[in-house]
Chain A
Amino acid sequence: SQKIEQNSEALNIQEGKTATLTCNYTNYSPAYLQWYRQDPGRGPVFLLLIRENEKEKRKERLKVTFDTTLKQSLFHITASQPADSATYLCALDHRTGANNLFFGTGTRLTVIP
């Protein structure tokens, strides 16, 4: 079965720096990959989706890359702010019927002022 690893459980960075989170998976590549943000005690919120034939996707200060050869996605937050502190989840999106998402365990990002 598919295994998803997010680089570390927790990541601390200084405000203003770029945060880079990693999502690695085994086995077959998904057609899409999604990233979510989750704040403590809340449900995840969708951020970005990237297709297998897209190398990079941007949205404001967020950038996602998807390398099917390396079986890896990188999630970048540029000019990070304390308000970016949250847990970030990657999800493999295989589009096999209705149940399309397989989630990683997440990386807890803390941006230090």
Chain B
Amino acid sequence: DVKVTQSSRYLVKRTGEKVFLECVQDMDHENMFWYRQDPGLGLRLIYFSYDVKMKEKGDIPEGYSVSREKKERFSLILESASTNQTSMYLCASSLGTGDSYEQYFGPGTRLTVT
């Protein structure tokens, strides 16, 4: 089974702090994704990566950056956390070849910025 793990389930940070969210997948997937999920807005893509050191902006990249130094690890960075970044953050991975485009999600990190 594919396993996607996220560094924290719950996180509380103060406004202005730098926040690191880490995601690790164990199935050698090429593609990795960071989403945020808010009530009524659904899943919104922040950034994705299709290879090591490669990244692409999603729909809402402002205020975020990412890093993918190793294939299995994809980090989301909030350079200066703000209260409007309080949300559930979900990491996902996919193989992205043949018919294997389904995404496997981690358990999520509920971030609260005070």
Complex contacts, B4 vs chain A, CB 8 Å: 43
Are B96's CB and A98's CB within 8 A? yes
- Chain B residues touching A, majority SS: strand
Are A34's CB and B102's CB within 8 A? yes
Q: Which of B12-20, B37-45, B73-81 contacts A (4 or more CB under 8 A)?
A: B37-45
Does B64 belong to the interface (CB within 8 Å)?
no
List the count of A-B residue pairs having beta carbons below 8 Å apart: 57
Tell whether A105 pairs with B41 under 8 Å between CB atoms, given A44-B105, A100-B101. yes
* Min distance, Cβ B54 to any Cβ of chain A, angstroms: 9
* Min distance, Cβ A30 to any Cβ of chain B, angstroms: 11
Does A46 belong to the interface (CB within 8 Å)?
yes
Are A103's CB and B56's CB within 8 A? no
Tell whether A43 pairs with B42 under 8 Å between CB atoms, given A49-B99, A98-B30, A98-B56. no
Are B42's CB and A103's CB within 8 A? yes
A99 to B101, CA, bound (A): 9
Does A101 belong to the interface (CB within 8 Å)?
yes
Which residue of the partner chain, among B31, B43, B102, B107, contacts A103 with CB atoms under 8 Å? Answer: B43
Which residue of the partner chain, among A41, A46, A98, contacts B108 with CB atoms under 8 Å? Answer: A41
* Min distance, Cβ B2 to any Cβ of chain A, angstroms: 10
- Chain A residues proximal to chain B, CB less than 8 Å: 32, 34, 41-46, 49, 89, 93, 95, 97-101, 103-106
The 9 lowest CB-CB distance pairs between A and B, nearest first, are A43-B105, A98-B50, A105-B42, A46-B102, A103-B43, A98-B31, A99-B48, A44-B105, A43-B90
- Chain B residues proximal to chain A, CB less than 8 Å: 4, 30-31, 33, 40-43, 45, 48-50, 56, 58, 90, 92, 94, 96, 99, 101-108, 110
A-B contact list, 29 entries, CB within 8 Å: A32-B101, A42-B108, A43-B4, A43-B90, A43-B105, A43-B107, A43-B108, A44-B43, A44-B90, A44-B103, A44-B105, A45-B105, A46-B102, A49-B99, A49-B101, A49-B102, A89-B42, A93-B101, A98-B48, A98-B49, A98-B96, A99-B33, A99-B48, A99-B58, A100-B94, A100-B101, A101-B101, A101-B103, A103-B42
